[in-house]
A and B are shown apart, each in its own frame.
Chain A
Amino acid sequence: MSVIYLDNNATTRVADEVLEAMLPYFCQYYGNPASMHTFGGQVEKEIVRAKERIVSLLGISDITEIVIMSCGTESDNAAIHGTLESYPHRRHIVTTKVEHPAVLNLCRHLSRSGYQVTELPVDSEGMLSLDELRAAITENTAIVSVMYANNETGVIFPIEEIGQVVKEKGSMFHVDAVQAVGKIPLNLATSSIDLLSLSGHKLHGPKGVGALYVRKGTRFKPFMIGGHQERGRRGGTENSGGIIGLGKACELAEAHINDENTRVKALRDRLEKALLTSVPNVRLNGHKAHRLPNTTNVSFEYVEGEAILLLLDSHEIAAASGSACTSGSLEPSHVLRAMGIPFTFAHGSIRFSLSVYNTEKEIDTVIRVVPEIIAKLRAISPYWKEATAKTKARGAGQPTRKAAS
């Protein structure tokens, strides 16, 4: 099937090179890396190589700062639990309203078992206020957990500035970088980040493997308690194939990061510009500049996101929406709600997230198809006629970009 895949923030295609690197570790070199024989020991060597590739992408060199996890979610859970357990007298967590559920639902869960949680708000462009952050952190704050880049809007938080505030206040700093790793250059060597989460399947690696960076000297207690694997910081026999795949994916990401920030970004910009100019009553969700190079999130007024996705699907275009109907919940995405997107736009959001595998031709197709789809749905929408009337009154059918309230 020749699907036009623009849902890379959900998951990515495993790179051919990654699969190739992994395959021998299932049927051929299946030994346990902890074993006292060469057959297992040779796997351990490859795991070390994989970790070297992971730290290299993060701009550091010490592989003991990496703890392998089973996914991004586990990495987030391990970071927060591991810190809370290390600072048992601190009972406060600071996070944001726009985190992935892996962090947000965990914090809400913890708030029911005695922790105090502050969820920082964001403005209409999805940005945080450093002053509000500073005011939120107290001596009781064990951990500040803030995402690097938002999965829905691609908005990038000013992580180093945030880190400075956190360090001034003497709290631990966790960053969910699941969407950032591989898409933008990171340099943890000069960073104030204590803990950082990443996930393999977001950067053309396999599903079911992730990692937690734990800066040397950071207090940490294991979340998954078991054997002595990962230097006692995460029990469980190593997912050798997965780890080796993640290592290869990190190596490729390092090689492609320039392409991602030039060619992929140009494709994204072209798509975004075309949609914002060819369709009336459309808006961009999220800060225009502080954004991942691959992501665009736009809302089409008076139409519903799931309906758009289904019509895109009929053209074999895969995208995502923050509409209620797609999330299985009944309300639009918590991220868009936190940004205060006007409700006439909130249900009609579409996220296109690109990768290095996307081509000009694919983007051309999307640019051609989307306006037709929106027009078709607006012809069915009871709200549309009044809306056009409003647009006309304001100025001859110009695309309106209402500011978020």
Chain B
Amino acid sequence: MWNYSDKVIDHFMHPRNVGVIENPNAEAEVGSIACGDMLKIQLKVDDEGIIRDAKFKTFGCGSAIASASILTEMIIGKHVDEVAKITNKDIAEALGGLPEEKIHCSVMGRDALEAALANYRGHTRKTPEEEDHSKLICRCFGVTENKIRRVVQENNLKTVEQVTHYCKAGGGCGACHSEIEDIIDDVWKVKAAERCERPEKPKQLTNIQKIALIQDTVEREIRPALRADGGDIELIDVEGDKVLVALRGACAECPASPVTLKGYVEQKLREFVSDGLHVEVVSQ
């Protein structure tokens, strides 16, 4: 028997915000009955971007129901930009923890929220998978390479078993285990390389050195993260401290791209290259 926290049992026995919203301005569905769990979430967001109401319906086990229930409590009354930061860890923590085998329930909650926010921002997609064109790794549960990379990175996963617990990949026939191992190795090889090769931020850079380092940071740090969300970025030019980039894929249409740009790309470049950098988008 699973060792569920009191909070999980409470939210399972008395799920909050079950139902449908008449005229939602955002909705999303993740998972499927064939895979054993599905979550449908709907949001009512006001003009200020505050989530006024959230409702869910779910097919799934006790912790799937509890994860969806607590998620609605975590987001109602909050601004969309704020809830966009919610991770699967936040959901699991709010529930007082989940058994490791059940973490995928919290990941499903996060995925549904993310898809609903994308839907709110004008994307037509209702499921996160629709814009993920990376390789399909787990055929039993339909999990792509990007999705696996992301759970590995975000949750510091080291084994196939953990990956299965977080996103189900590898939980069926097992034929993809070695591919999952390769992805894990790849993620941590890149990370390890970064750790070794990232000396103290260089004090004095020549222009050539600076451009090389910017290029390197875009490739290693920034692109993989954006690609995981179906987007991409290209470095166009560097003029002094001004970094010119072009956004591609999902990022190009994304109304949240100014946030991505300042909050993420610029911050990464400042962290890895130089504090004075600022980023501008060129349309190319």
Binary CB contact string for chain A from 311 to 332 against chain B (1 if under 8 A, 0 otherwise): 1001000000001111011111
Asked whether B36 lies within 8 Å of A330 as measured between CB atoms, the reply is: yes
The one of B15, B37, B102, B168 that contacts A304, using a Cβ cutoff of 8 Å: B37
Which residues of chain B (49-69) have a CB below 8 Å from chain A? 57-62, 64-65
Binary CB contact string for chain B from 12 to 32 against chain A (1 if under 8 A, 0 otherwise): 110100100000000001000
CA gap between A380 and B141 in the complex, in Å: 23
Which residues of chain B (150-172) have a CB below 8 Å from chain A? 164, 168, 171-172
Cβ-based interface call for B208 (8 A)? no
Asked whether B172 lies within 8 Å of A380 as measured between CB atoms, the reply is: no
Binary CB contact string for chain B from 80 to 104 against chain A (1 if under 8 A, 0 otherwise): 0000000000000000000001100
Cβ-based interface call for A63 (8 A)? no
B9, B62, B140 — most chain A CB neighbours (10 Å): B62
Asked whether B37 lies within 8 Å of A331 as measured between CB atoms, the reply is: no
Chain B residues near A383 (CB-CB < 8 A): 33, 38, 59
CA gap between A324 and B102 in the complex, in Å: 11
Chain B residues near A326 (CB-CB < 8 A): 61
Main secondary structure of the interface of B (DSSP, over half): mixed
Asked whether B59 lies within 8 Å of A331 as measured between CB atoms, the reply is: no
Closest residue on chain A to residue B8 by CB atoms: A310
CB within 8 Å for A381 and B168 given contacts A304-B37, A344-B33: no
Cβ-based interface call for B227 (8 A)? no
Asked whether B29 lies within 8 Å of A343 as measured between CB atoms, the reply is: no
Asked whether B62 lies within 8 Å of A307 as measured between CB atoms, the reply is: yes
CA gap between A285 and B37 in the complex, in Å: 21
Chain A residues near B12 (CB-CB < 8 A): 307, 310
Asked whether A382 lies within 8 Å of B18 as measured between CB atoms, the reply is: no
Asked whether A382 lies within 8 Å of B38 as measured between CB atoms, the reply is: yes
Closest residue on chain B to residue A302 by CB atoms: B59
Chain A residues near B62 (CB-CB < 8 A): 306-307, 310, 325
A306, A311, A323, A328 — most chain B CB neighbours (10 Å): A306
Asked whether B101 lies within 8 Å of A380 as measured between CB atoms, the reply is: no
Asked whether A307 lies within 8 Å of B61 as measured between CB atoms, the reply is: yes
CA gap between A126 and B140 in the complex, in Å: 23
Cβ-based interface call for B196 (8 A)? no
Which residues of chain A (11-44) have a CB below 8 Å from chain B? none
Distance between A325 CB and nearest chain B CB, rounded to angstroms: 4
Cβ-based interface call for B40 (8 A)? yes
Cβ-based interface call for A347 (8 A)? yes
Query: Total number of A-B contacts with CB less than 8 angstroms?
Result: 70
Closest residue on chain A to residue B39 by CB atoms: A382
Asked whether B164 lies within 8 Å of A382 as measured between CB atoms, the reply is: no
Cβ-based interface call for B193 (8 A)? no
Asked whether A380 lies within 8 Å of B36 as measured between CB atoms, the reply is: no
Asked whether A381 lies within 8 Å of B58 as measured between CB atoms, the reply is: yes
Distance between B219 CB and nearest chain A CB, rounded to angstroms: 35
Cβ-based interface call for A144 (8 A)? no
Cβ-based interface call for A379 (8 A)? yes
Distance between B257 CB and nearest chain A CB, rounded to angstroms: 32
Cβ-based interface call for A303 (8 A)? yes
Chain A residues near B65 (CB-CB < 8 A): 307, 380
The one of B9, B18, B61 that contacts A325, using a Cβ cutoff of 8 Å: B61
CA gap between A323 and B2 in the complex, in Å: 14
Chain A residues near B141 (CB-CB < 8 A): 330
Binary CB contact string for chain A from 362 to 405 against chain B (1 if under 8 A, 0 otherwise): 00000000000000000111110000000000000000000000
Asked whether B59 lies within 8 Å of A304 as measured between CB atoms, the reply is: yes
Distance between A377 CB and nearest chain B CB, rounded to angstroms: 8
CA gap between A175 and B141 in the complex, in Å: 35
Chain B residues near A303 (CB-CB < 8 A): 59
Closest residue on chain B to residue A379 by CB atoms: B18
CA gap between A379 and B58 in the complex, in Å: 9
Chain A residues near B18 (CB-CB < 8 A): 379-380
Kindly list 15 other residue pairs between chains A and B, CB separation below 8 angstroms, not including A304-B36, A325-B62, A381-B59. A303-B59, A304-B60, A310-B12, A310-B62, A323-B61, A325-B36, A325-B102, A326-B61, A330-B36, A331-B36, A343-B34, A380-B65, A382-B57, A383-B38, A383-B59
Report, nearest first, the 7 A-B pairs whose CB atoms are least far apart.
A330-B171, A325-B61, A382-B57, A306-B61, A382-B40, A324-B36, A310-B62
Q: Provide 29 A-B residue pairs closer than 8 Å at the C-beta atoms, listed in order of the A residue.
A: A304-B36, A304-B59, A304-B60, A306-B61, A307-B61, A310-B9, A310-B12, A311-B13, A324-B36, A325-B60, A326-B61, A328-B101, A330-B140, A330-B164, A330-B168, A330-B171, A331-B140, A347-B33, A380-B15, A380-B18, A380-B57, A380-B58, A381-B58, A382-B38, A382-B40, A382-B57, A382-B59, A383-B33, A383-B59
Interface on A for B, CB 8 Å cutoff?
302-307, 310-311, 314, 323-326, 328-332, 343-344, 347, 379-383
Interface on B for A, CB 8 Å cutoff?
9, 12-13, 15, 18, 29, 33-34, 36-40, 57-62, 64-65, 101-102, 140-141, 164, 168, 171-172
